[in-house]
Structure 1
Amino acid sequence: MDDDRVWSFEKSLWDGTPEHYRELVDETCLMVLPHPPFVLSGTQAIEAVADTTRWTEVAFSKGQIARPQEGLIVVAYHIEASRGDETYQANCTSTYRWLSHEVWRVIQHQQTPPLVVQGAVEKTG
């Protein structure tokens, strides 16, 4: 999967339909989110995110892509997303596993909102 397709794939996880999300996230996925129960796996991870309102605006920055071996892609990035009056920022990682020609599934995803460090908010720009 080329870099443009990787970012398109990742964006679709934030703003695509719940059905699309369920299709792209593997049933063995491990996920860490910034709200209880924090650590999720399998269908619990899929349903926790698929059933939330999708983001209408999504912007990536600080994007990095690694391909540690054939059939694995790891992405890391900062996201700024919004829907209505709600905004969200986080540093994220996702790992994709190749299944067959043009078929990839998310097997890991993590979100860490900006941390407060010694009274200052982490700079995201």
Structure 2
Amino acid sequence: MDDDRVWSFEKSLWTGGADHYRELVDDECLMVLPHPPFVLSGSQAIEAVADTPRWSGVDFSNGQIARPQEGLIVIAYHAKASRDGETYEAHCTSTYRRLSPEVWRVIQHQQTPPLVGSTAEKTAE
């Protein structure tokens, strides 16, 4: 999967409908999200995100892509998403595995919102 397709694939996970999300997320996926129960797996992870309102738009910055082996892609980025006057920001990672030449599934995803009052911020003051 080329870089443009990677970012398009990831964006579709933020903005696509629940059925689209269920199609692209693997049954063995592990997720860490910033709300209870925090660590989710398999169908629990799929349903937790599929049942939430989708974002109307998302922008990525500071994106990086790694391909540690054939059929495996790891990405890291900062996301800024919006819907109905609400915004959300997080540092994210996702890992995809290839099932066949054109079929990829998410097997890992995590979101970390910006930390408030972190040690780095305090030392910068």
Same fold? TM cut 0.5: yes
Aligned-residue RMSD, C-alpha: 1.3
Q: Percent identity?
A: 79
Tell me the equivalent position of 1:57: 57
The letter for the 2-side match of 1:35 is: H
**Alignment partners' CA distance in 1, 2:36 and 2:120:** 24
* Offset from partner CA, 1:39-61 (integer Å, 9 cap, x none): 00000000000011000010000
Q: Secondary structure at the match of 2:114?
A: coil
> Which consecutive unaligned segments of at least 5 residues does structure 2 have?
none
The letter for the 1-side match of 2:41 is: S
Question: Displacement of 1:85 after TM fit?
Answer: 1.7
Instruction: Pick the structure with more helix per residue.
Output: 2
Structure 1 stretches of 4+ with a deviation exceeding 6 A read none
**Alignment partners' CA distance in 2, 1:71 and 1:18:** 25
Tell me the equivalent position of 1:69: 69
Q: Secondary structure at the match of 1:22?
A: helix
Question: Displacement of 1:120 after TM fit?
Answer: 4.0
**Alignment partners' CA distance in 1, 2:99 and 2:57:** 30
> Which consecutive unaligned segments of at least 5 residues does structure 1 have?
none
Tell me the equivalent position of 1:27: 27
What is the aligned residue count? Answer: 121
TM-score (norm 1): 0.94
